[in-house]
Structure 1
């Protein structure tokens, strides 16, 4: 893998600029709720129209059999426990990835991390970014169900609800029914420095942790893969292949400053309403290089921080990754369905990170293959709607 050309760390943006102050008003959160309600209503109309017209595909996805994905805080304690228990189960199952390909894999959970590592430079700032992660998150959800007996659905993390204090949210409060808490506090950390090519760096405020996670279901979790490109608060970056066996604790550095600046309710609403084409939508979501913004995508990842959360390649090594990408998918779904006719199959970009090296434009016939993570090869065309292909789900 040729990663060193990206110098320090991230595929999430650059340029020295002050973060936009958060505007976590009740109006922003209410507007977001209204957008989600509108999206759900439109989805129901689409499925009703299909059923009325007797379309063949309406028989596979209907209002009656939609899987409902809900926010973590909306789950009961038993439902949260069932989810974290299934994740722990996946971490206890043997890997399917051969160790001659990825020497560091030790669990079924690691299969997903290894796939993300190997494909990172083709699935960010590329034409497949959104669809690839939709398929990746759904395939992970199916593994929890089919291999660990999970009967629920993939929850999501609504960044806007907890932007001012994510560490005390039901996701990160460290209780038995959380996704585990913050890392142990490490004093004296400077800003987290993100660089991308020749663009000026972005400096992110440090969080209130930094060390090993010591509470909640994943307090004893072992991270096996990485790092590949892990930024540190002293401005340095730890690099490697990411594929060797490197056992260590799960670390987090939860940052309210990052959450409030880049993944607040206002930023979500503006992303959905102000970006009128897929190229601008997905680029703004990830952070326009040179703009100083890391987008809501980077905002969620760097709210978590730590190791492996701050490493673009190995970020699925933190189980909150899938709640974060559930929200990424929710935002895309909402944006799509507000102009479904024109946005359902809208794609833009090429097959490589910021088209480096230059590659052909992504098409609906391009194949996505998650390898040993599972799911099998599938076309982009089949991944463009949550009502079609292998999918049949909604968000509430």
Structure 2
């Protein structure tokens, strides 16, 4: 049974973060000649996300691919680093007005580390009529269990105009600190209780995906809950390609998977295998629609899997439910 991280006792939270740190120190499986920036087992997951970003975001594979990716992450924590719990989720609405007070981001030893140091050079982000105020940090994270981790891949630009190939810097080695900039303005607007209720009230998968993602942010200021979680943490989490380097990435996506799972359970007949979109980012008209037989790839992490295998969290080798 998967629980919110806030429901875990201190020892369970430390067990999880210790296992994540463990993956930072485990040797990589990807070949260094082809992936020079991959230096650890955690980097295997980051490079895999980079490699498939243009096929599993803002399209019909977003939900199923990330469901399997989360399960592979939990399996690695368990089998390679001795973790005995489950992958927790980040229950967004509980602290959407005060992220720094959350037990996830308060900087304590039982947290996922706190805000980054204040960087006076961080600027607001503007897209059309939507301007996102800057967060409260922007620099290196200096507190909590991840204060000393080193990132190796990315960063990728937020201003990409072409989505046909993996952009620079690709898989280059770029050692640097982990950064964060907590942003209550984003969190309170795009990860609140109303957003979750709207997701769960969606009539069909198209409506559900519309609430999950708007990319780019619409001119009227609507910002999907997926992007809302990423931009509410800023820094490393804002990187579309390399964001799995942010420790909260997997908990954010676990919450998305949780809401999807609850939504599916409420109408088994019409929602369990409901799909919409293609297997190409932004769903270009020329791309074929995703079906249950569409094959998803996970590189070194796993063998190819059909979409059908991951449409239920209790089938196809998966075995978990959410509280």
Cross-structure match for 1:99: 32
1:218 and 2:218 correspond: no
1:285 and 2:190 correspond: no
Q: SS state of the match for residue 203, structure 1?
A: strand
Give the Å deviation of 1:188.
Answer: 5.8
- Alpha-carbon displacement from aligned partner over 1:83-109 (angstroms, at most 9, x marks no partner): 000000011001111122221100000
Contact 2:198 2:211 in 1 (8 A): no
* Distance across 2 between alignment mates of 1:142 and 1:258: 32
1:193 and 2:122 correspond: no
1:394 and 2:321 correspond: yes
Cross-structure match for 2:192: 264
Correspondence for 2:229 among 275, 297, 300 = 300
1:81 and 2:8 correspond: no
Cross-structure match for 1:375: 302
1:346 and 2:274 correspond: yes
* Distance across 2 between alignment mates of 1:303 and 1:100: 35
Give the Å deviation of 1:320.
Answer: 0.6
5 Å-filtered alignment, 1:163-182, equals 163-182=96-115
Unmatched runs of 5 consecutive residues or more in structure 2:
160-166
5 Å-filtered alignment, 1:1-396, equals 68-187=1-120, 189-194=122-127, 200=128, 202-230=130-158, 240-273=168-201, 275-287=202-214, 290=218, 291-306=220-235, 308-356=236-284, 358-372=286-300, 374-396=301-323
* Distance across 1 between alignment mates of 2:181 and 2:132: 12
Contact 2:293 2:307 in 1 (8 A): yes
Unmatched runs of 5 consecutive residues or more in structure 1:
1-67, 195-199, 232-238
* Distance across 2 between alignment mates of 1:357 and 1:98: 35
- Alpha-carbon displacement from aligned partner over 1:2-46 (angstroms, at most 9, x marks no partner): xxxxxxxxxxxxxxxxxxxxxxxxxxxxxxxxxxxxxxxxxxxxx
Give the Å deviation of 1:189.
Answer: 3.7
* Distance across 2 between alignment mates of 1:152 and 1:114: 25
Cross-structure match for 1:20: none
* Distance across 1 between alignment mates of 2:118 and 2:155: 21
Contact 2:296 2:306 in 1 (8 A): yes
Give the Å deviation of 1:319.
Answer: 1.2
Contact 1:242 1:314 in 2 (8 A): no
* Distance across 1 between alignment mates of 2:192 and 2:309: 31
Contact 1:352 1:358 in 2 (8 A): no
* Distance across 2 between alignment mates of 1:223 and 1:95: 14
Give the Å deviation of 1:292.
Answer: 2.6
Contact 2:58 2:215 in 1 (8 A): no
Please, what TM-score do these two structures have when normalized by structure 1?
A: 0.77
Note closer, same or farther for the CA distance 1:376–1:201 as it changes in structure 2 (3 Å cut).
farther
Note closer, same or farther for the CA distance 1:383–1:201 as it changes in structure 2 (3 Å cut).
farther
Note closer, same or farther for the CA distance 1:250–1:201 as it changes in structure 2 (3 Å cut).
farther
- Alpha-carbon displacement from aligned partner over 1:104-147 (angstroms, at most 9, x marks no partner): 10000001110111111111111111000100011000000011
Q: SS state of the match for residue 283, structure 1?
A: helix
Give the Å deviation of 1:357.
Answer: 7.2
Cross-structure match for 2:163: none
* Distance across 2 between alignment mates of 1:350 and 1:230: 23
Higher RCO, 1 vs 2 (CA within 8 Å, ≥6 residues apart): 1
* Distance across 1 between alignment mates of 2:4 and 2:143: 21
Q: SS state of the match for residue 107, structure 2?
A: coil
